[in-house]
Amino acid sequence: MRKPLIAANWKMHKTIPEAVDYVKRFVPAVRNAADVDILIAPPFTAISAVAGALRTAQRADIFVAAQDVFYEEKGAYTGEVSTGMIKDAGCSFAIAGHSERRQYFHETDSLVNKKARAAVRAGLGVIICVGETLEERNTGRTFDVVKRQVSEALLEFEEADFGNIVFAYEPVWAIGTGVTATPDQAEEAHVFIRSVIKEIYGGEIAGDVRILYGGSVKPENVDEIMACPDVDGALVGGASLDPESFSRLVMFKKG
């Protein structure tokens, strides 16, 4: 059985005091959460504060992630943040290839692969994001795009690396739009992603990899999304910014 993972991506939101206040309000709300992994990805500036607040609350079991990471360990790369830096700040995960990074900062499949490999080499878990645009879906290219993204993201990985790899299916047309893929659409895409992994690494690994859904997940739809057999969790943006809302997602009702 794949343990569900519910992940909060705060994007460019929250100062350090706001982040610490969030943790203080969130932790009691999920004290009864069982059989689910929880992850919070604050902005870089708040990572250390969030990790510290979780330690103070004795919830070191809640993972902290960086929203992005660079693939070199050090060097003249102004503005970039390395795996060693985010680990030092308290991260155990990193996100690679979020649709906004691909869209606004023109990140390529090759760059996403380099970032993901750097994270795993450093002993971090990595959430690799894939997904099609509305134009690609409307022209029947969803599976072609997703297969390319998954295949290129996994270049040069070994079977032993998969304990640290999570995928997130993020249809770009559902990010921040309020539009959510139907449960059937989400399940179809997740089954396909698992089939691509199976082609490359075999059925056992494909069956073990967690695949999250990302795209306007909110309290009103989380239960039906999480009822899909191949949906192993959620990567949540806007609905994760409020601790009450995010706690409801963590405490989703199992079908």
User: Which one of 107, 132, 136, 170 is the catalytic residue?
Assistant: 170
Q: Which of 98, 100, 136, 190 is catalytic?
A: 98
Give the C-alpha separation, 179 to 170, whole Å: 12
φ/ψ (deg, to 5) at 126: -135, 135
Whether 98 is catalytic is yes
Is 204 a known active-site residue?
no
Which parts of 97-216 are beta strand (E)?
Answer: 125-130, 165-169, 210-213
Q: What is the C-alpha to C-alpha distance for residues 98 and 169, in angstroms, rounded to an integer? A: 10
Number of helices (H) and strands (E) in the chain: give both, helices first: 11, 8
CB 189 within 8 A of CB 215: no
Helix (H) or strand (E) holding 146: helix 142-153
Is 2 exposed, middle or buried, given 0-12, 13-18 or 19+ CB atoms closer than 10 A? middle
Q: Name the β-bridge partners of 39.
A: 7, 63
Q: Which amino acids are annotated catalytic?
A: 98, 170
